[in-house]
Structure 1
Amino acid sequence: MLEVRLTMPDGRIAVHPAPADGSDAAFGGFPKNSVLTLFDPTPEELGRVARAFHLDEAYLRDALDPLERPRVELGETEDGAPVLILVLGLPHQNGDAAYDGRPGSMPYGVMPVSLVHLKDHLLVVARRAHPAILDVLDGRRAPVATHMKTRLTLLIFQAVAEAYLAALRELRALSRAIERRLRAAHRNRELFMLLGVNKSLVYFASALRASVIVYRRLLAGRDLKLYADDADLLRSALVDLEQAEELTALHADRLSTLMDAYAAVIHNNVNAVLKVLTTLTVVLTLPVLIAGLFTINTRLPFEDAPWLFGLLLLAMIVSGGALVLYFYQRNFLRW
């Protein structure tokens, strides 16, 4: 979906309809100092924007690759004008429904977002719209104008860092809820849910590691001109991002330890059950052998005696009880 945002004379940021395709006006009819957002764009929209600004369409397609890593790239238009491409990783919730722990699923993923800086325009490309980005572009996060490309970019950077912290809080609460359920019932579903949470943390760690490099490179001021206020904003965003990176590593280590502990508990429980079943089998074997002696087709001493049945029954009870006492004293029948 292609949308155009432009600051109005009253300071309000308004969403304008995209100009007609094939316009002969400069920049394909897109207003100067506007912000173009391409959320889940069609191939036609990508081609149209690329033609309007004489861009390599690959610059716009980078954000549509779910495996794209955060990075900074310097390029040129077909006319030789400089282009700055910033690719970020933004955490997003997978699906609208509550996380159910299906094998292979995870509660959160990382979505690439591409910010393409042109001389008079800012292009924002992503596979879907995200509230954190919309709050910045619509001026709800902080007063801003669409011609302030650097300010918009840094506000998006800060929003991305805060989105990671919010997602980590959600994952922490989710993992604690799963732990409580796992203590009550050792089921595979809860283990799959913890595995999905851990998978989200792995994606977070990879994206955060690359994002920190991007933030530090921009803070050096080589690729993007920064004023004092801009540098302070970027430093604040970098602090949040580094905190998110540390929390991600901490949660991932804790979750891995927790899953190993639960796996060991389940393994021990299975061993305990097998030990009890094996012990009961041994306990029942001796009485069965005693009774089996008098079921063979061979004459045995005292087989016609009236007291034989009672004696055999007593022998089976005594032998079985003796074995139970023996194994119980050696903790074979205790959990």
Structure 2
Amino acid sequence: MMRITRDCLLSGNANRRSWMALVAPSANELTQAAATLDIPESFLRKRLEGEASRPLIKEERLISLQFQVPLPKEGAAGQFTLVPLSLYFVPGYFVTLTEREIPFLSRLIDPRKPRKRWELVLRIIAEVTRNYLPTARSVAREMAVVERDLRQAQRHDVVYRGLDINDRLLALDLGLLQLEYVVSEIGHFLPAEDADLMEIHEDTRIELSQVRDQVDSDQATINELLESYAYVVHNNVNHLFKFMAALIILATIPLFIPGAAAMNVPLGPFPHWRYGFAAVTGGLLLVEALTAWVFYRKGWLRLD
């Protein structure tokens, strides 16, 4: 979809610019937009597909910004999609390019109250930053559930949920890192005498830093949680092997006597002794009991 709204914002020299909104544009719309803006169609297509590229490009007739906007998935707490949002300033136009509708753009870009271009960019970035905050908090809440389940059950499916959370936090962290770079570079274009713009820029930078700190903290927590779980599993496996070894040793002890008796060697008068069977059986039980007591004291016969 391609939508053009006239006179939506002010350029640096106070001229009006039109807003061209490209939302999942068709091939024909992309070709038409590239011709209107005098931008290579391949450049727009790469940005639309979110391919790795420079977050900020400044040329003679073009300023291009790109960052990731977290949009929550319907009915899935903690699940989200990072949607690439590209902004372009070309003569006469301000362009937004994205594969999905971004709700807050229509609220921020109002032809009845046109803003200066850098003020608009900063407000868009501030809104994106505010989208990161509830997304990170929802992931943190799910992480708390995973921690509780790991403590109670130690199920493997919970581990996979923890790994999935770690992947989502990494995606958030990369998106915030890209956004931080854009905010840092924008500071060089802002007029130093405009106190309002500088204040918005500083507020946005601080807000972004706070969200990044929270995501980094959550990442450290989930990594420590998974490492602790791996240690517990490793310890339990070692204990299980000790338990099995103790059982095998206890089961092997009674086999010594029939093994010795079955050997084709003379045993002297011992097989004909009246109390031979009782002595052998009693000695066997005593060795078995002593061995079991030693294993129990060492904890090898306990599975708790």
Q: What's the TM-score, normalizing by structure 1?
A: 0.74
Number of paired residues?
294
Shift, 1:312, TM fit = 5.6
Q: Against the structure 1 CA distance between its residues 85 and 142, is the aligned structure 2 distance closer, same or farther, given a 3 Å change threshold?
A: closer
After TM superposition, list the pairs within 5 Å mapping 1:247-258 onto structure 2.
247-258=214-225
SS at match of 2:222: helix
Q: Which has the higher helix share?
A: 2
Amino acid at match of 2:35: R
CA contact (8 A) 1:70 1:210 kept: no
Shift, 1:6, TM fit = 5.6
Q: Which ranges of structure 1 fall in alignment gaps of 5 or more residues?
A: 9-31, 77-81, 100-105
Q: Which residue of 2 aligns with 1:165?
A: 133
Amino acid at match of 2:125: F
1:214 to 168, 177, 182: 182
Amino acid at match of 2:136: L
Shift, 1:144, TM fit = 6.8
1:39 to 23, 28, 34: 23
Distance of 1:85 and 1:233 partners within structure 2:
20
Shift, 1:239, TM fit = 1.1
Shift, 1:330, TM fit = 2.8
Q: Which residue of 1 aligns with 2:36?
A: 52
Q: Deviations over 1:289-331 (max 9, x none)?
A: 3345556799977768998776665444333221110122233
After TM superposition, list the pairs within 5 Å mapping 1:143-182 onto structure 2.
145=112, 147-148=114-115, 150=117, 151-182=119-150
Distance of 2:75 and 2:150 partners within structure 1:
21
Q: Against the structure 1 CA distance between its residues 263 and 138, is the aligned structure 2 distance closer, same or farther, given a 3 Å change threshold?
A: same
SS at match of 1:138: helix
2:69 to 90, 98, 114: 90
Amino acid at match of 1:331: G
Q: Which residue of 2 aligns with 1:122?
A: 94
Q: CA RMSD in A?
A: 3.3
Q: Against the structure 1 CA distance between its residues 70 and 320, is the aligned structure 2 distance closer, same or farther, given a 3 Å change threshold?
A: farther
After TM superposition, list the pairs within 5 Å mapping 1:1-335 onto structure 2.
1-5=1-5, 33-68=17-52, 71-76=55-60, 82-93=61-72, 96=74, 98=76, 107-108=79-80, 110-129=82-101, 133-135=102-104, 137-139=105-107, 145=112, 147-148=114-115, 150=117, 151-221=119-189, 227-293=194-260, 314-334=282-302, 335=304
Amino acid at match of 1:49: A
Q: Which ranges of structure 2 fall in alignment gaps of 5 or more residues?
A: 9-15
CA contact (8 A) 1:69 1:210 kept: no
SS at match of 2:62: strand
Distance of 1:193 and 1:125 partners within structure 2:
33
Q: Which residue of 1 aligns with 2:11?
A: none
Q: What's the TM-score, normalizing by structure 2?
A: 0.81
Distance of 2:116 and 2:164 partners within structure 1:
37
Shift, 1:274, TM fit = 0.8
CA contact (8 A) 1:70 1:88 kept: no
CA contact (8 A) 1:204 1:248 kept: yes
CA contact (8 A) 1:33 1:147 kept: no
Shift, 1:55, TM fit = 1.9
SS at match of 1:221: coil
Distance of 2:62 and 2:209 partners within structure 1:
28
Q: Deviations over 1:156-188 (max 9, x none)?
A: 111111111111111111111111111122222
- Determine what percentage of the aligned residue pairs are the same residue: 23
SS at match of 1:89: strand
Amino acid at match of 1:39: V
